[in-house]
Structure 1
């Protein structure tokens, strides 16, 4: 979690996809509660998507278009989960090399 003097990374992007931080808020303020709600929703969606992806990958009849859509949704969910982890102080310290 962020300490009192740290800015919280919000679970949505600002203009041009840049990180968004509240200019002023407290732990129980409206923006903080909204961010908590959105983070919980994003994590729940990622969990459901992970379950769905297992089903899609187990089905050998899935076509390339379905797999492409799944990859796009997984990429978006992973981006959201990493933003939540970073916001909570547990984000990646260094980027892994491909």
Structure 2
């Protein structure tokens, strides 16, 4: 949940590759729910890709092209996961920074 003066980092980028932000004072709107769902999908895909990577690395017959493809996919998943973590971290920080006992 963001405060009224804070922007939420969204789990996608704009057409030019720059980050997208959402200004909202609550998490119940359509775009907030859409972002939550996309973040969930991204994390699920990263988890599945990790399982796939472990299988490929355990197979001695995995060739360089397969490893190159794996690294490309892992890089994208890591980028998405870091964006989700950054977004969630900012939202958590704002909740705890605004806490009356802090």
Quick check: TM above 0.5? yes
Unaligned runs of 5+ residues in structure 1 are 91-98
Report the counterpart of residue 65 of structure 1 in structure 2: 65
CA contact (8 A) 1:12 1:19 kept: yes
Unaligned runs of 5+ residues in structure 2 are 91-102
Report the counterpart of residue 75 of structure 1 in structure 2: 75
Alignment root-mean-square deviation, CA: 1.6
Distance 1:84 1:65 in 2: 29
| Helix, strand or coil at the partner of 1:11 | strand
C-alpha distance 35-25 of structure 1, shift in aligned 2 (>3 A): farther
Describe the superposition over 1:44-79 as per-residue Cα deviations: whole angstroms up to 9, x where unpaired: 000010011000000010111100000000000000
CA contact (8 A) 1:13 1:19 kept: yes
Q: TM-score, normalised by structure 2?
A: 0.81
C-alpha distance 60-2 of structure 1, shift in aligned 2 (>3 A): farther
Report the counterpart of residue 31 of structure 1 in structure 2: 31
The structure where strand makes up a greater share of residues is: 2
The structure where helix makes up a greater share of residues is: 2
